[in-house]
Amino acid sequence: PTYFVDQSRLYDPALRRKVRKAVGSQGIYLREGVYACMRGRTYETPAEIGMLRVLGADQVGMSTIFEAQVALAMGAKVLAISLITNEGAGIQEGATLSHDEVAETGQRNQEPFARIMEIALPILVRESVSLKRASLERGRNLVVGGKVESVTDESFAEARNLLDPNEPPFGLGAF
């Protein structure tokens, strides 16, 4: 990956618009906001949530940004769709955060979130194939099936086989 990559458009604006329009056409409203990331494996403290609110965060998580930064550094178009599963510490007076609440909220929203993915995935697949073609034309490296493929003039014909429509398009966890 390339280091010191511009993060000002970490999440691809055109991809965001396409997915938001497609999801919206099905009557599903997606909110956009500022996602803050903490290192995790613990929930944030009320003081951390307060600090992040002052800094303009709308939601807080323990991942997504790290994966998105690596994907962007590798030349991918990046989109993130998050399911907010709990309110931050200190938002509801006297409330205690628990993993059970997070898991229950995730289960309760499994069907609507799956519907969003059903709408978004075809767009992501088309973008992935488009990105592969553009990368092939420019002679860049590609990430295919978790493996970096260097595409040069000599390997162009072989690399074209990477566009097999039956091939899984990319690692969706990060892209």
Cβ–Cβ under 8 Å, residues 77 and 142: no
Cβ–Cβ under 8 Å, residues 158 and 130: no
44 in active site: yes
CA 50 from centre of chain: 25
Host H or E run for residue 124: helix 110-138
d(CA 25, CA 21): 6
CA distances from 99 to 123, 154, 159 (A): 32, 52, 44
From the list 32, 44, 118, 149, the catalytic residue is 44
One DSSP character per residue, 18-85 reads HHHHHHHTTT------PEEE---SSPPPHHHHHHHHHTT-SEEESSSHHHHHHHHHTT----------
| Residues identified as active-site | 44
